[in-house]
Chain A
Amino acid sequence: MTSYALFLGCTIPARQPHYEASARKALTRLGIGLVDLDNMTCCAPPPLQSIDMETSLAIAAHNICLAEEADLDIVTLCTGCFESLAMANNLLKENSKLKARVNKILSNAGEEFKGTKEVKHYLKVLMDDVGLERLKKSVVKDLSSLKVASFSGCHLLRPSALLKFDDPERPHIFDDLIEALGAKSIWYRNKLKCCGGLLRGYADDVALAIARDKIVNTTKAGADCIVTLCPFCFLTLDLGQMLIKSAYKEEYNIPVIHYAELLSLALGIDPKELALDFHKIRLDKVLSKIT
């Protein structure tokens, strides 16, 4: 069994226990070991990079140091955490000057970034340690009538030079993993476009207009649901539909579901164990198509 240090980040434990529960249960069932380490902190995502990039790199490196000490690679659920940590990890591995600069900061906390570990998004773990074939064989439910609009979020793919996850313009890994569950991953307009989530709190009107575009395009394409990987994208599109309803007087009610939840359901995990009440848009339409 391969084990990883599970990096939860801030948003998932604070607001999305449905994501955490589904991810833990599905990954464990597929034979992935998850280790909870003490003293992880915020991943230092874009809002902190915006304040001070040097501090952000040091905080990201602090989290990676903890995994290095435990001799484990990191797995993240949140796409934002993946970006922050993988970007810092790869940047510091490639740039010895920057690494020395960050290590000077870390020495104040008695830590040293060595660059010996990987940061992986859980989709990569599924690809590497389970594989599409075994995943297909583990599915016990029929999802063949489910049409999904996949939305990976920007930071699974970009900046591709540092994240090296998939082709940034024609990605396929996420869709392959959806189809391995038996569901159909459909095309929709502007699929790779941002959801605007990071602008919430600074320019809510702009953020909502961008989110609405995603909701309109996935609805027009006839999707039964939107499948996400990132807690921010989830919030932007799920709670976002409530905000769209009051700002635009438009009602879409398209369910938004994390891939880990869809995976759990496909593996036959009881929906009652998945804290699905935390969804603003009800999942009935999706659940009725999983038989």
Chain B
Amino acid sequence: MEHKKEQKTSATSFSDEIRSQLGGETITLCYQCGTCASSCPVAKTTERYNPRDIIRLSLLGEKQEVLSGGAIWLCSSCYNCQERCPQKVEIADVIYALRNIAIKEGHIPNIYSEFATGLMNEGRIVPTSKFVEKKRPEYGLPPLRPAGLDAMKKILAATGFDKIQWKKEGTP
């Protein structure tokens, strides 16, 4: 009995945490029909990913498995599932919410650290190319306007983004 109660508590607290994140609000509407998994291009391609399982594990409170298992990073954000879910679970947005939580807990895939660094340094996640920039006049293109780094830095400081971005996968 004691054990069951404990499990229920961790399940409720994880789904509450997800619901309080932007995008995570609808997770508890899921009734596990599997429409999402059968609409998912990634689930069709690899057994490493299944959106229904991620939702199920999250609702069961399997926080560590969900956040550090790697699967949440395999969603391609195509929103196909979200268009079709009969319960109006905003699945792609729930995945974003799970990623946001995972990142706060230090699970950042390297490629995402690189995106964050690009944003911090240049205001763009894909850095400009000096080679292409020099050639712009040749193609009749006007000079590239400067990115608004000033405003960007203030925004990143206000949300605390500038403090999370240096963590790398596996390191605290």
Contact = CB atoms under 8 A, between A and B. Distances in A.
Please determine whether chains A and B interact with each other in the same assembly: yes
Contact of B74 (A110, A206, A213): A206
A20 B152 CA distance: 24
B78 A54 contact: no
A210 interface: yes
Interface residues of A, number: 68
Interface stretch (A131-139, A154-162, A243-251): A154-162
Chain B interface size, as a band, is 35 or more
Contact of B83 (A98, A158, A193, A206): A158
Nearest to B146: A38
A275 B21 contact: no
Nearest to A206: B46
Interface in B38-60: 41-42, 45-46, 48-49
B interface SS class: helix
Contacts of B22: 53-54, 57, 98
Contact of A41 (B21, B100, B147, B165): B147
Nearest to A41: B123
A109 interface: yes
Interface in A145-173: 154-155, 158-160, 168-169
Contact of B82 (A14, A39, A159): A159
A52 B112 contact: no
A245 to B, nearest CB: 19
Nearest to B72: A50
A109 B125 contact: no
B1 interface: no
Contacts of B144: 8, 13
Interface in A182-208: 192-194, 196-199, 201-203, 206-207
A interface SS class: helix
A201 B112 CA distance: 9
B148 A10 contact: no
B124 A10 contact: yes
A109 B76 contact: no
A17 B141 contact: yes
Q: By CB atoms of chain B within 10 A, which of A47, A48, A98, A194 has the most?
A: A47
B77 A46 contact: yes
Interface string B16-51: 000001110000000000000000011001101100
A230 to B, nearest CB: 12
A120 interface: no
A42 B42 contact: no
B76 A66 contact: no
A197 to B, nearest CB: 7
Contacts of B80: 154, 158, 192-194
B164 to A, nearest CB: 7
Contacts of B116: 48, 51
A10 B77 contact: no
Contacts of B79: 154-155, 158-159
A38 B92 CA distance: 32
Contacts of B139: 17-18, 20-21, 273-275
A108 B112 CA distance: 25
A273 B138 CA distance: 9
A192 to B, nearest CB: 8
A114 interface: no
Given A14-B128, A15-B132, A39 B21 contact: no
Contacts of B6: none
A194 B75 CA distance: 11
B170 interface: no
Nearest to B77: A46
B123 A42 contact: yes
Given A51-B161, A196-B45, A206-B45, 5 more contacts: A39-B145, A41-B151, A49-B77, A50-B77, A196-B76
Instruction: Give 4 nearest A-B pairs by CB, closest first.
Output: A39-B148, A158-B79, A194-B78, A10-B126
Interface of A: 8, 10-11, 13-15, 17-18, 20-21, 24-25, 36-42, 45-55, 57-59, 62, 66, 98, 104-106, 108-111, 154-155, 158-160, 168-169, 192-194, 196-199, 201-203, 206-207, 209-210, 213, 273-275
